[in-house]
Chain A
Amino acid sequence: MSTRKTTNRRAVRYHVLVLDDADRTVDAVRRLRRDGFDLHDVYTPFAVHELDVEMGLPPTRLPWMTLVGGTLGVTLGLGFQAWTATSSWPLNIGGKTDLALPALAPVTFESAVLLAALFSVATLFVASRLFPRGRPPSQPIAAVTDDRFAIVVREADAAFDPGKLAGVANEVGADPFIESWKVE
C-alpha cells in the first residue's frame, strides 16, 4: 500500500496492465521495476511462484503471530490446569502429587495448537482486510479470480512516462488501461 498523505487530497491515477499468463506477468513486473515504475500491486488468480520476490515484497511476518498464539496457548493451557490442580480445587488422587505434569501434557498441547492456528488465521484476516462484504474495491477487474493477471502501476509523480509504460505493455503483450479509482 502507498503511504497516505495528510494534505492535498487528489485523485491518483492508477494504470492497469492486464495479462493472461503467469510467466509474462513475472516478466512484466521485472521490467517495470527495472524502469523505476511505482508498482502498486499485482492481482492474480493463483499464487504465482516468486512473484512476491520479483515485486520486492518483504517476507510476511505472519509466523511471528503463530509463535505468539502457540506461546499463549502453552501458558494459558498449562497455567489454568496447574491453578485448578494446586490452588482452586486440589484433589488427592491415589496420593499422587497435585501437579502431575505428564497428565497435563495433552490439554497443554491442544491449547497451544488451537491458539497458534487461530492467531495465524486471525492475522491473515486482519492484515489482508478480509471480512464479509461484496466484491472488494481494490480488485481492478473481476477476471483476476479466473484467468487474468492485473499489474497496477501508480502514477507517482511528474516523472511518470505513459509512453514508456505503453512500451513495456507492448513488449510483454499486455492490454493497458487507465483507471483512477482511488483518492489519496
Chain B
Amino acid sequence: MTEQHDVSQSMDPRFQELIPGAPSLSEVTNEIAGPIERGPGKLWWGAFATAASALTLGVILVAYTVGTGIGVWGLDRTVGWGWAITNFVFWVGIGHAGTLISAILLLFRQRWRTSIARAAEAMTIFAVMCAGIFPIIHMGRPWLAFWVFPYPNTRGPLWVNFRSPLLWDVFAISTYFIVSLVFWYVGLLPDFATMRDRVKGWRGRIYGWLSLGWDGSTKSWQRHEKTSLLLAALATPLVVSVHTIVSFDFATSILPGWHTTILPPYFVAGAVFSGFAMVLTLLLMTRKLMHLERYITPDHLDKMAKVLLTTGMIVGFAYATELFIAWYSSNPYERFAFWNRAFGPYGVGYWIMVFCNVVVPQVFWSAKARRNVGLLFVASIFVNIGMWFERFNIIVISLSRDFLPSSWTHYVPSMVEVGILVGSFGLFFTCFLLFVRYAPVVSFHEVKVTLAEQKHGAHHAADEDPVSPRSNWTGDTFGTSASRTGGIQS
C-alpha cells in the first residue's frame, strides 16, 4: 500500500485519488511540460541511440530486399507467408489495442485512462506504421503498392476485387490509421496550445502551428468534447472490425488451422492482450524517462495488470477451445494441424506461446505483483514475445504442413528477415521516443479535468452516505458536456 492510498482512505472509501497530492493546475502544466522543455537525459539518449541504430539496420535490409528480391528471405512455395506476415499481424495487433484502450475506456468513463490514453494512441499510430511496411515490402515490387487501391486505370479500368479479404484489409487498416491519427491529433490540439503559450522562439512557433490557433473558448471545448466522444464511438466498432478483418485473411481460406470461426474473437482478444502488454512496456519506460511517476501511478499499473490477466485468460481459453474443437470435429486434417502445432517440428514455438501468454500473466493474481514495476516490465515483455509466437504458430506451422505431405517444408527465416523485424522495433521506438520528447505524453487538459472531478468527488463522497466501497466514480450519463475523460458529475 502506498502513501496516497492511506490519504484517500481517510477521506472516504468510495473515493480513490487518481492523481496523488492534488497538484495545482500550473503544477500539472509544469510537471508534464518540464521534461520536454528541459530536454532529455542520458537515459533517453541511450534509448534513442539504440532505437535509431535498429532502425538504420532495418532501412538497409529493406533496401537490400527490394533491390535484390524476395529471394533473400527464407520463403518457399509451401510457406509463402512467413516472417513478414507474422510481423504484420503482430504489429497490427499492438496497434489495435491503443485506440481500443483509449476509446473504450472513454466510453465506459474510466477516469484512470487519462494518464495512459495519449501514450496508447501514439503507440497505435507507430505500430500501424510498422505493420504497414511488411505487406508492402512483401509485394516484392513496393513501388506498385498503390495497385491495392481502386483508381481509374488504363487496364479496363480493372477494379480491385472487393470480395477479397485482403482488399478488405487494405480498407480496414487505412481507415483505422486515419481515424486513429485524427483522434490522437484532436486530443493533442489543446495541449499543443499550452506548449505554444509556454515555449518561446521557433519551437513555440511550431507548437503554435500544430495547435491550429486553439483558444480554449467554451464553444470550442463543447465541440471538442463532442468530437472526441463521437470519434471514440466510431473507433470502438472500427477496432473490432479491423482485427476481425485481419483474421478473415486466414479464416476465409480452407487451410486446416486457419479455416475456423473462432479466429475473429480470438484475434480481437489477442490484440487487446498484446496491446495492453505493449502499453505497459512503454509506460514503464516513459514514467522513468520523463519523470511522470505522479501521473502514471501504481494504481494505473495495477489496473493494467488486471486487464492483462483477464485478456490473457481469454486468450488461454481460446487456445483450449481450438484444441477441443479440432478433436471434436473428427476431421483428420484438423486434428493433425493442432497435433502438429503442439508436438511437430515447431512445437517449441507453441509452448513458448502457452508459457508467455497463459502462464506468465497468472502472477497478477497477486496484488503485490501488480504493483511491482520490475516484474510488470518483465511480464509485459514476455507477453509481447508470446503474442509474436502466437501469430508465427498460426501462420507458419499451418502452412508448412498442409494436406499434401510431398509439399511439406521446414521454413527457417533468413537473417535479412530477422534484421527487418529488429528494424521495425527500431522504427517503433524511434517514433515513440521522439514523441515523448516533443509532445505532452500525458494530456494537460485531461489531467486537469480529472483533478477537478477528483476535487468534486472528494467533496461529494464526504457529504453522502457511502454506497459501495468499490465504485470510484459517482455516475454520469451521456450528457451534452461529457468530457473526453468522462465528465463526472453527481
Interface residues of A (CB under 8 A from B): 20, 22, 41-53, 55, 57, 59-60, 62-63, 66, 80-81, 84-85, 88-89, 91, 93, 100, 103-104, 106-107, 109-111, 113-114, 116-118, 120-121, 123-125, 127-136, 138-139, 142-147
Contact = CB atoms under 8 A, between A and B. Distances in A.
Contacts of A84: 150, 159, 162
Contact of A47 (B183, B196, B484): B484
Interface of B: 24-26, 29, 150, 156-159, 161-163, 167-168, 171-172, 175, 178-179, 182-183, 186, 189-190, 193-194, 196-198, 205, 208-210, 212-227, 230-231, 234-235, 237-238, 241, 245, 248, 444-446, 448-449, 452-453, 480-481, 483-484, 487-489
A70 to B, nearest CB: 8
9 contacts: A49-B452, A60-B223, A63-B230, A104-B162, A117-B235, A120-B230, A134-B213, A139-B216, A146-B197
A80 B150 CA distance: 10
Contact of B29 (A104, A125, A146): A146
Contacts of B196: 134-135, 145
A80 B453 CA distance: 48
Contact of B222 (A43, A60, A104): A60
Nearest to A44: B216
State the 5 A-B residue pairs at the shortest beta-carbon distance, nearest first: A147-B25, A130-B212, A136-B213, A46-B448, A106-B168
Given A45-B444, A45-B448, A128-B220, A139 B215 contact: yes
A50 B481 contact: yes
Contacts of B168: 106-107, 110
B132 to A, nearest CB: 15
Contacts of B483: 46-47, 49
Given A41-B218, A107-B168, A63 B198 contact: no
Contacts of B26: 146-147
A133 B215 contact: no
A55 B222 CA distance: 12
A88 B157 contact: yes
Contact of B481 (A47, A80, A85, A89): A47
A147 B29 contact: yes
Contact of B227 (A44, A88, A124): A124
Given A43-B217, A110-B172, A132-B209, A50 B489 contact: yes
Nearest to A43: B216
A53 B186 CA distance: 23
Contacts of B453: 49
Nearest to A142: B197
B175 A113 contact: yes
A70 B168 CA distance: 18
Given A41-B219, A143-B197, A47 B445 contact: yes
Given A41-B218, A46-B452, 7 more contacts: A57-B219, A60-B223, A80-B150, A111-B171, A130-B214, A134-B205, A136-B214
A51 B178 CA distance: 32
Contacts of B245: 106
A117 B197 contact: no
A118 B177 CA distance: 12
A103 B162 contact: yes
Nearest to B455: A23
A45 B175 contact: no
B29 A130 contact: no
A57 B218 contact: yes
A130 B235 CA distance: 23
A144 B216 contact: yes
Nearest to A91: B161
A45 B452 contact: no
Contacts of B167: 107
B24 A147 contact: yes
Contacts of B193: 145
B172 to A, nearest CB: 5
A118 B230 CA distance: 11
A53 B189 contact: no
A131 B214 CA distance: 9
Of B167, B179, B189, most A-chain CB atoms within 10 Å: B179
B209 to A, nearest CB: 4
A84 B167 CA distance: 14
Of A51, A59, A117, most B-chain CB atoms within 10 Å: A117
Contacts of A139: 215-216
B223 A145 contact: no
Nearest to A143: B197
Contacts of A117: 178-179, 182-183, 230-231, 234-235
Given A41-B217, A107-B162, A138-B215, A53 B481 contact: yes
A89 B215 contact: no
A52 B218 contact: yes
Contact of B216 (A52, A123, A129, A145): A145
A145 to B, nearest CB: 4
A137 B75 CA distance: 60
A146 B198 contact: yes
Contacts of A147: 24-26, 29
B294 to A, nearest CB: 17
A35 B25 CA distance: 30
Contacts of B448: 45-46
A71 B210 CA distance: 30
B219 A85 contact: no
B401 to A, nearest CB: 28
B216 A128 contact: no
A106 B487 contact: no
Nearest to B452: A22
A45 B25 contact: yes
Of A45, A135, A136, most B-chain CB atoms within 10 Å: A45
A43 to B, nearest CB: 5
